[in-house]
Amino acid sequence: MTQHSTLCTDVECSKARRLAPAILAGLLIFLCGCADNRVRLDVQGLERNIEEMRKIQAEHTVQLSSMQDQVSRLTGKLEELEYGQRSRFSGAPSSVPGAISSAPGELIVLPSNQLQPPPPIVPVQALEQDEASVRGATEEAPRRFAEGLAKVRQGRFEDAIPLLQEAVNLSYGSDGSAHALFWLGVAGDGLGDNKRALAAYSELVTKFPKSKRTPLALLRQASVFIRLNDSRTAKLTLQKLIAEFPKSAEAQQAKTKLKDLR
């Protein structure tokens, strides 16, 4: 009985050993199949997500392009309106070549009597005078000054600053550097940078007291102090302007400002 049981057990073990590789292989195939299915499902899900993201991105691109076109059209219309208003009130054509947008993304050079109007904060008469003074200049300092003035006319004050500063450095001590300092102050005004504006106007007034641009620099300096709610310093600046340049047009404007400050 014991021998028979042992014989059966050996036979069963032998069969089990023969079947084990097949069972293991089947199990591995089953597991691999499951893994492949999971990977396939994951890949399919990822592909769907990517496709959805592409569709969303395409929609956003179309919307952004449409918004940019609208902004460009509005900018062009605004420039046309500003130019029309200035043309009606200027009374005299400008004499310096310039540029204006005629269509979204298009910039054309205009005749001297159809300049792009500068932003309201820019003194137009002074700009036209200084543009005329460096028209056709070949020396480096005047050319940099002219390039800076072109940026000021376009309202690109940040771009104007390095050009104007270079013009100051190249011609320092001359009347040309005094004018460049004035426009550095205007660029600061345009950026709302009161500190930069005051620094440029102050340097002009201190180092070039007889410059043609000094009266206007004093007047604009007083305006900056008014914006800073420093009425006392604004009054002193206006009084200095009236005392030192009594016959200037700026002195008459200073008197009006003083009345408003009282």
pLDDT digits (tens, 9 = 90+) for 198-215: 999 999 999 999 999 999
DSSP character string of 215-234:
HHHHHHHHHHHHHTT-HHHH
pLDDT of residue 104: 38
For the record, the structure tokens of 237 come out as 């600046």
Q: What pLDDT score was predicted for residue 108?
A: 37
pLDDT at residue 148, as a whole number: 97
Structure tokens at 86: 């200035």
Question: Which of helix, strand or coil describes residue 114?
Answer: coil
pTM to 2 decimals? 0.59
Low-confidence residues of the chain: pLDDT under 70: 1-114
Instruction: Enter the CATH code of domain 118-261.
Output: 1.25.40.10
Cα-Cα-Cα-Cα dihedral of 191, 199, 179, 218, to 10°? Answer: 100
pLDDT value at residue 100: 36
Bin 136: left if φ > 0, else alpha if -120 < ψ < 50, else beta. left
Helix (H) or strand (E) holding 99: strand 98-103
